[in-house]
Amino acid sequence: MGKLNVGVYWAASCGGCDVAILDIHEKVLKVKEACDFFLWPIAMDFKYADVEALPDKHLDLVLFNGAVRNSENKHLAELLRKKSKLLVAFGSCAHTGGIPALANFTTKQGIFERAYLTSDSTDNPQKVIPKTKVKVPEGELTIPEFFERVFALDQVVDVDYYVPGCPPNPERIWEVLAAVVTGAPLPPKGSVIGAGTKALCDTCERKRTGDKKITGFKRVATTDWDPEVCFLDQGLVCLGPCTRDGCGLQCVQHSNMPCRGCYGLPPDISDQGAKMIAALGSLIDAKDPEEIARIAGELPDQAGYYYRFSAAAGLLERRKA
């Protein structure tokens, strides 16, 4: 078969997903043999105009990482949808909003005020705020419009597949690339690929002591914990109950750190935070409302903790408008 036409794009992202692709190591040479790249900003110099000039559906596969934060992200999402046969939401940000979507717990106005006016390191006596258009003697300059909230990719365009993870596990990436390259039969549209189908707790190998009873939440930075035993048993918040497996247990097993939830929702769950509250509600050992409030108060940023990677894709997608 001929070579595959491939594009990789970053929208509101950190670049970690692009690096994760390179983390397949020497197999990247096989990718190079099998693929022609038409866009990959972190690695190669293509211009948006080159992509705009391509015929529709010219790209066999586009790996789109990053959330949709501004009008440039949205434009590229729409453009790459038009030019691609398979559009893959690649990594947590494109899948469920990721870290950038934590901004959905505040507003655009709140972000601008903090960033340009009130932060301790800001020196802006004239209170200059970025404008999308500004006239200068040479003409008009424009920058992309900053949206009110952050979107996951499928909230803006139609998406064929999802590969979760922050970043996706390189072995899973290779499986996905290999499937497309070899022409293997693809799963149904809309599938989450390169991940498991259970909650992380179901595949975690840490020891469970049985009767979990939480009387207070501990912090990783100030606790010595047993490296073999379930984190929740020890009062450390681990998002295993509300997170999809398939990550290779990189945090909970190999790094001895609690799950942060980057593989997103397991199937049949519609909200990571709600599910985590359901789980913790069963574990907290208190019946008195004041005592419960005290224990819950030890997690002052519940939303930020539970939705660290999925704030744009919760049942409530943003702070009240």
Partner 1 sequence: MSEPRIVAFLCHWCSYTGADLAGTARIKYSPNVRIIRVMCSGRIEPQFLLKALREGADGVLVCGCHPGDCHYHEGNYKCLRRFLMLRQMLGQYGIEEGRLRLEWVSASEGDRFAKLADEFTEQIRALGPLGGRAAFVEGTQQGGTSWAS
User: Which chain residues interact with partner 1 by CB under 8 A?
Assistant: 74, 105, 107-109, 112, 129, 131-133, 145-149, 151, 156, 269-271, 273-275, 277-278, 280-282, 284, 286-287, 289, 292-293, 296-297, 301-304, 306, 314-321
* DSSP notation for 271-316: -HHHHHHHHHHHHB---SHHHHHHHHHT-TTHHHHHTTTTGGGSSS
Decide: helix, strand or coil at residue 104. Answer: helix
Smallest distance, partner 1 to C-beta of residue 86, A = 24
Judged by CB, which is closer to partner 1: 125, or 289? Answer: 289
Decide: helix, strand or coil at residue 107. Answer: coil
Q: CA angle 84-87-91, nearest 5°?
A: 145
Smallest distance, partner 1 to C-beta of residue 320, A = 4
Judged by CB, which is closer to partner 1: 202, or 291? Answer: 291
Pairing of strands 133-136, 139-142: antiparallel
Smallest distance, partner 1 to C-beta of residue 281, A = 4
Smallest distance, partner 1 to C-beta of residue 284, A = 5
Smallest distance, partner 1 to C-beta of residue 30, A = 39
Smallest distance, partner 1 to C-beta of residue 302, A = 4
Judged by CB, which is closer to partner 1: 180, or 295? Answer: 295
**CA dihedral in degrees (65, 303, 227, 248; nearest 10)?**
-20
Rounded Cα distance between 196 and 239, Å, is: 16
Rounded Cα distance between 301 and 260, Å, is: 14
Smallest distance, partner 1 to C-beta of residue 252, A = 23
Judged by CB, which is closer to partner 1: 46, or 217? Answer: 217
Judged by CB, which is closer to partner 1: 36, or 145? Answer: 145
Judged by CB, which is closer to partner 1: 25, or 320? Answer: 320
Q: In 10 A of CB 171, how many CB atoms?
A: 13
Burial 37-48 (b: 16+ CB within 10 A, else e): bbbbbeeeeeee
Q: At 247, phi and psi to the nearest 5? A: -80, -5
Judged by CB, which is closer to partner 1: 216, or 281? Answer: 281
